[in-house]
Amino acid sequence: MSGYKTHLLVGFIVGIIFFITTWKFLGWFDISLVTIIISLGIIVIYSLASDLDHPLSKLTWVFIGCAIIILILGLSFKNDFYTYFGVGLLVFTFICAKCFKHRKFIHSWSAGIIFCLPLFFLGIEFTLLGFISFLSHLFADKIPFKFV
């Protein structure tokens, strides 16, 4: 019972509860269309991120497809940022899928912390939303307290 649909469902439930609770009681997040879209994207990506260590996971293939499109756009428009980002995403996804065994390091709190670091640029509330969504995956896989 730990397929991608289950991880999306659990991640969505946990993420929405976190979003609403912190908005209502702590004043986090604004209720704007942009914030809601970003938050839903974070929930979807981070609730599936632990399975980047599996070459056949849905997110692995989505990342590969996005990386190729970004890389092509970067090369077509001679935009270094997009080119490097596309290459970086492709290399990151390849390393996760080929160099890590399934349900080992990437299925841990340590990996969750590392994966959530880029979200600090959006703010602590988005970082914690990503981490909570990441942890929902570990709970669904029945390994909630795996730290390394």
> DSSP 3-state helix, strand, coil percentages of the chain (rounded to 5)?
75, 0, 25
Cα four-point dihedral sign 134, 140, 94, 15? negative
Question: pLDDT tens digits for 120-147?
Answer: 999 999 999 999 999 999 999 999 999 9
What's the predicted TM-score (pTM) here? 0.92
Q: Which helix (H) or strand (E) holds 82?
A: helix 80-99
Question: pLDDT tens digits for 73-117?
Answer: 999 999 999 999 999 999 999 999 999 999 999 999 999 999 999
Dist CA 105 CA 68 (whole Å): 26
125-144 residues labelled b (16+ CB within 10 A) or e (exposed): bbbebbbbbbbbbbebbeee
What phi, psi does 79 have (nearest 5°)? -110, 110
